[in-house]
Amino acid sequence: MEWLSPPPDGIVVDLTVGMGGHSSELLKLIPNGRLIGLDQDVEALQHASLALKDPRVTLIKANFADLLNVLTELSLSEVDCVLMDIGVSSLQLDSPSRGFSFQQNGPLDMRMDSSASLTAADVVNSYREDQLANIIYEYGEERKSRQLANAIVRRRAQKPFETTDELALLAKQVLGNPKPKKGESYKHPATRLFQALRIEVNQELEVLKTALKASLSVLKPGGRLAVITFHSLEDRIVKQYFKTESIDCVCPPRIPQCICGHKASVELLTRKPIEASDEEVQRNPRSRSAKLRVVQKLSTGGAA
């Protein structure tokens, strides 16, 4: 909230409203303002509507990549602040029926938007072995992606995967169950596999890139964009995009004179990401991976 610091009459957009936690705090800062909350998860919006019973709030079912269309429908062209809290929510993780977690058995679903067609079961049961290996390696950063993909294909030939338990068991059989190194917390062998499937099902990285550009384009001069990420792939995209938009020239070093015409559109407010304190991690273990990065729109500059 301190980093966003919206004006009292500001228009604020929470692109991942979830259960309304961040939005509830933002409303305290804009007594004469307006909050627009987006989420593609109907269940989350139901919770948010109960938590945010306020005439200043407009809740909309939409993917955050659809920000420009949403604002057009609301006859808005500029906003003061945008907040993005990327990735799977606690509501989704804690619901076995959504299939996001290997902690509780459930169907292999992983759709953030339950009306979408592609599920995690579709991916593991129909993608080619090389496709699976690439997804697990690129999105899960799993070194043994080929072994996992091969094991999935051999197993599904006997019986298609249906549940999270079935897939988590296979991951443990292929990868083993190594003990954490000193100072590190235990990580289930299926963690990277589940992350990769979730990203593929929801096309999270491509959606993130679109949403970042859209968010900067609608910010007023002096407006701020804050993004919270939870794994290195997301954070790398946000870090690089913010870095690029904070400098004038993006020409390759070998070119002696600038020919790109790129102009900085933002100022980096967080040179390094803001991370949870030890105290917060104790209260909320899921915050241990969170990284917050914030930029401020310049009065003049290039298009985002």
User: Span 217-244, mean pLDDT?
Assistant: 96
| Residue 258: predicted pLDDT | 83
**Lowest-confidence region among 16-20, 90-94, 162-166:** 90-94
pLDDT above 50 for 302: no
| Residue 300: predicted pLDDT | 67
pTM of the predicted model, to two decimals? 0.89
Q: pLDDT-derived band of residue 187, with 50, 70 and 90 as boundaries?
A: confident
pLDDT digits (tens, 9 = 90+) for 78-131: 999 999 999 777 777 778 888 888 888 999 999 999 899 999 999 999 999 999
What ranges do the domains of the chain cover?
11-85+204-297, 102-200
Looking at every residue in the chain, the average pLDDT score rounds to: 92
Q: pLDDT-derived band of residue 303, with 50, 70 and 90 as boundaries?
A: very low
Buried b (16+ CB within 10 A) or exposed e, 169-187: ebbeebbeeeeeeeeeeee
| Residue 299: predicted pLDDT | 84
| Residue 183: predicted pLDDT | 61
User: Span 166-175, mean pLDDT?
Assistant: 95
Q: Which residues make Cβ contacts (< 8 Å) with residue 271, sequence separation at least 6?
A: none
- Measure the CA–CA gap between 58 and 75, rounded to whole angstroms: 13
102-200 CATH fold = DNA polymerase; domain 1 (1.10.150)
**Lowest-confidence region among 35-39, 186-190, 199-203:** 186-190
pLDDT above 50 for 304: no
- Measure the CA–CA gap between 43 and 38, rounded to whole angstroms: 12
| Residue 102: predicted pLDDT | 87
* Residue 68 one-letter amino acid: L
Q: pLDDT-derived band of residue 184, with 50, 70 and 90 as boundaries?
A: low
Are residues 36 and 70 in contact, defined by beta-carbon separation less than 8 angstroms?
yes
Q: Does domain 11-85+204-297 correspond to CATH entry 3.40.50.150?
A: yes
